[in-house]
Amino acid sequence: MSTHRRHPDPQPAHLQGSVYEAGLRGEKPSIPYSYEAWEELAHEKLPKTSWGYIHGSAGAGTTDQANKDAFKRWGIIPSRLIPTVRPDLTTAVLGRQLAYPIALAPVGVHSIFHPDKEFAVAKAAEEVGVPYTMSTASSTSIEDAAAANSNGERWYQLYWPQKEHDSITKSILKRARASGFTALVVTLDTYILGWRPCDLDTGYNPFLIADTTGVAIGMSDPVFREQWAADHGGKYPDDESQLKESAPYWDRVVFPGVSHSWEDLKFLKENWDGPIVLKGIQTVRDAKKAVEAGMDGIIISNHGGRQVDGCVPSLDCLAPIVDAVGDKLDVMYDSGVRTGSDVIKALALGAKLVFIGRPYIYGLAIGGQEGVKHVLGAILADLDLTLQLSGISSVKSQDLNRDCIQRIPTA
Ligand SMILES: Cc1cc2nc3c(=O)[nH]c(=O)nc-3n(C[C@H](O)[C@H](O)[C@H](O)COP(=O)(O)O)c2cc1C
């Protein structure tokens, strides 16, 4: 099992003490500590289009709401007189030894949230010591984001072009591997964008913008550039203004409008020599198919409610899937995670790793790299303290499991 060099704090709850000490000196934190305040501040800072893009969801937003409500239906059961010195937050996932049981979910188009874009996020992830998952829809090339992430643990998220573009997919995978991305995360729920009234109302699709906002990986890909040039009279444009043609072209490559099939996973296995994770799994049936296809992990996710409105909350899908396949591959979780106690509940239901989505992007919008670090630090401190106060001595399943939570009856 390999370990990346980084300097994570084994006891992130220290943060609390340092904030109160600073308070005694009359220093108040420059960024607040609650999710609600991050959301509000990001709303104030961002233009209407960027705010709509991150905050918005599919349809009436019922899936997004259901994701968050699902966490409220579980309560942590604290145990007493357990002299836990400090909880052990380390975990092992996909053959990697990790300092914490959280990772950054892949989120595209960082440049619409902060000018430091993926650089800020990749650096913050490395400094805090959590895996950075880079989106195919990034505003930065694979190589540049990898350089910013330096010695960090990094995974690459694929929006998967259709077969006619296999040569482009191969090129992207080769670049990601060469740039030190260890795991491949394949998103299955977004071969076309969902119906998002918040973006429709502003007529805003960041992928169609004539710059590199959501298409930097395509624009920097040699095979894509060759193909584009072949289709458009022999030369890839040096002039950025022509990106108004190549950006939508790339958009159609990565959001082809139709899904791949289970058989197609063979192609990815042949072209990626590390662990492969399927993101967007919601059913036991699909989880079993992932095992049959030889996958190394799955992420139970409904894309934060951004794709299908009226969808089942992801948290409700987690335990049955863990029971069916948890001993055969690594089951991970995202959608609706906002606090340390949300992380605990998802881990208790059997997730091995929990992805943070919107909260860190709010941090990015508020304060760039420092904002992302702040949000991650807060979630980790909350996680650490809440575990300790609940008498749970580690995030490993022998200590943190379904005995630690109970269903709260709904009125
Ligand atoms: C603004 C935004 C952009 C996203 N972009 C991607 C992406 O490029 N690839 C991907 O697999 N998921 C993407 N997601 C989904 C996240 O990876 C994750 O599933 C989701 O944020 C979890 O929901 P939550 O943020 O409400 O917790 C995006 C989510 C948001 C909010």
Q: How sure is the predictor about 19, in pLDDT bands with cuts at 50, 70 and 90?
A: very high
Tell me how far the alpha carbon of residue 78 lies from the centroid of ligand 1, in angstroms. Answer: 32
Q: What is the mean pLDDT of residues 320-337?
A: 98
ipTM: 1.00
- Res. 399: pLDDT tops 60: yes
Q: What is the mean pLDDT of residues 311-331?
A: 98
Q: What is the mean pLDDT of residues 366-374?
A: 98
Q: How sure is the predictor about 2, in pLDDT bands with cuts at 50, 70 and 90?
A: very low
Arithmetic mean of pLDDT over the chain: 95
The reported pLDDT for the residue numbered 243 is 75
- Give me the percent of the chain exceeding a pLDDT of 90: 90
Q: What is the mean pLDDT of residues 211-234?
A: 90
- Res. 6: pLDDT tops 70: no
**Residue length of the chain:** 411
Minimum-distance ligand 1 atom for the alpha carbon of 359: 25
Q: What is the mean pLDDT of residues 249-262?
A: 95
Minimum-distance ligand 1 atom for the alpha carbon of 136: 8
Secondary structure letter of residue 236 according to DSSP: -
**Which residue from 130, 138, 148 is spatially nearest to 93, judged by alpha carbons?**
130
Rounded Cα distance between 97 and 135, Å, is: 22
Greater model confidence, 3 or 277: 277
Q: What is the mean pLDDT of residues 134-147?
A: 98
Q: What is the mean pLDDT of residues 301-309?
A: 98
Active site residue 303: yes
Rounded Cα distance between 98 and 178, Å, is: 22
Q: What is the pLDDT of residues 178-205, one digit of tens each?
A: 999 999 999 999 999 999 999 999 999 9
Q: What is the mean pLDDT of residues 89-110?
A: 98
Minimum-distance ligand 1 atom for the alpha carbon of 301: 19
Task: Name the class of domain 30-407.
Answer: alpha beta
The reported pLDDT for the residue numbered 411 is 67
What's the CA angle centered on 339, arms 337 and 343, to 5 degrees? 60
Q: How sure is the predictor about 410, in pLDDT bands with cuts at 50, 70 and 90?
A: confident
Evaluate: CB of 107 within 6 angstroms of ligand 1.
Answer: yes
- Res. 296: pLDDT tops 70: yes
The reported pLDDT for the residue numbered 132 is 98
Evaluate: CB of 304 within 6 angstroms of ligand 1.
Answer: yes
Tell me how far the alpha carbon of residue 232 lies from the centroid of ligand 1, in angstroms. Answer: 33
The reported pLDDT for the residue numbered 262 is 98
Rounded Cα distance between 258 and 316, Å, is: 27
Rounded Cα distance between 288 and 284, Å, is: 6
Please report, for the chain, the start and end positions of each structural domain, with discontinuous segments joined by +: 30-407
Q: What is the pLDDT of residues 22-65, one digit of tens each?
A: 999 999 999 999 999 999 999 999 999 999 999 999 999 999 99
The reported pLDDT for the residue numbered 1 is 40
Lowest mean pLDDT among 74-78, 199-203, 212-216: 212-216
* Alpha-helical segments (H) within 211-313: 216-219, 222-231, 243-254, 265-271, 284-292
Nearest residue (by CA) to ligand 1, atom 18, is: 303
Q: What is the pLDDT of residues 84-93, one digit of tens each?
A: 779 999 999 9
Q: What is the mean pLDDT of residues 132-159?
A: 98
Q: What is the mean pLDDT of residues 351-376?
A: 98
